[in-house]
Structure 1
């Protein structure tokens, strides 16, 4: 892994982040979008954010993001946000999450698969 800033990935990250904010604030009543699409997109955000600052192997990065996402989801099972002292509703409480779901893990897997397929179809991405 080597530090290398990429404006392209950084701009894509900002765009995806704005979509996530839109989902969380304006589309929170649209169940499918809030419950599933946000989790699919968040792994894409992690991918582009890391690629914004580092030159790294795509497959290893995607696998690492999937593992990280699953570990974070499993940490939610043990109420890690509360154990770390974050108050309900605080930014870190929301980021870490507060409820375990197998569906979320499936969504992370779908998001990573989509990133992988996109990378394979567009090798310079």
Structure 2
């Protein structure tokens, strides 16, 4: 139960950070890089709410999911589906970028290091 609460709080905090970044930050570092790194941590935290003990290689699966979304951007899924909702367009994204994939990888490495550190302390 303690883990689940930790991941609920983590999800909510990171979600609020992502919303604030999306709405108010217009720079060339925080929004494109930190925002992309945090999104995989957000997804990971969300999944851990429902699977508090985790599953082997979960950070890798989150990375694959993020890459799938990025590949769908390459194939212009948003335009193909005719998505006009601003929030949906932001969540799905509309521009493929290899740098985004690198940011997802950094976020997943952070997750692995964080989980390793937490396991060693307990």
For normalisation by structure 2, the TM-score amounts to: 0.89
For 2:66, the equivalent position in structure 1 comes to: 69
Equivalenced residues, count: 118
Query: CA shift at 1:69, angstroms?
Result: 0.5
User: Which of structure 1's runs of 4+ aligned residues deviate more than 4 A?
Assistant: none
Which structure 2 residues correspond to residues 1-125 of structure 1 after superposition, within 5 A? Answer: 6-27=4-25, 29-55=26-52, 56-57=54-55, 59-87=56-84, 90-123=86-119
2-side partners of 1:64 and 1:52: how far apart? 16
- What residue ranges of structure 2 are gaps of 5+ in the alignment? none
Separation of aligned partners in 1, 2:82 and 2:21: 27
Q: Which ranges of structure 1 fall in alignment gaps of 5 or more residues?
A: none
Partner SS, residue 105 of structure 1? helix
1:90 deviates by 2.2
Cα distance per residue 1:39-94 (max 9 Å; x no partner): 0000000111110112422x42111100011111011011011112201x522121
Structure-1-length-normalised TM-score: 0.87
How far 1:25 moved relative to its partner? Answer: 1.4
**Which structure is higher in helix share?**
2
CA contact (8 A) 1:9 1:52 kept: yes
